[in-house]
Amino acid sequence: GNSVTQMEGPVTLSEEAFLTINCTYTATGYPSLFWYVQYPGEGLQLLLKATKADDKGSNKGFEATYRKETTSFHLEKGSVQVSDSAVYFCAGYNNNDMRFGAGTRLTVKP
């Protein structure tokens, strides 16, 4: 079946540090891949997406590249800010099946 695995948190970084949150998927075929973010007190919202291999999704300084050879969609940001503190969810959609990772809590300290 389809599944999404992301690195467990929590992750604590200092402001301006480099961020990577790993995400890998298992699916028959090639799913569409997403990163969702949940800021404190708010609902989940789409951060970025990629619908085919080698696509790069980007938004708010975050990037993720759909790597077919490693079945990965790692989230990266070159310089995090305190306002990036949130829970990040990797997700994949394939064959009418939407799967989310367990979520990674990021805390950025000034």
Partner 1 sequence: KAGVTQTPRYLIKTRGQQVTLSCSPISGHRSVSWYQQTPGQGLQFLFEYFSETQRNKGNFPGRFSGRQFSNSRSEMNVSTLELGDSALYLCASSQQGPRNNSPLHFGNGTRLTVT
Residues that bind partner 1 (CB under 8 A): 32, 34, 36, 38, 41-46, 49, 51, 89, 93, 96-103
Query: Residues 42, 61: contact at Cβ < 8 Å?
Result: no
Least distance (Å) between residue 70 CB and partner 1: 22
Least distance (Å) between residue 14 CB and partner 1: 27
Q: Count CB atoms within 10 A of the CB of residue 96.
A: 6
Sheet of strand 75-77: strand arrangement: 19-21, 75-77, 62-65, 56-59
Nearer to partner 1 (CB atom), residue 70 or residue 96: 96
Closest residue by Cα to residue 75 from 26, 3, 4, 2: 4
Nearer to partner 1 (CB atom), residue 2 or residue 85: 2
Nearer to partner 1 (CB atom), residue 7 or residue 17: 7
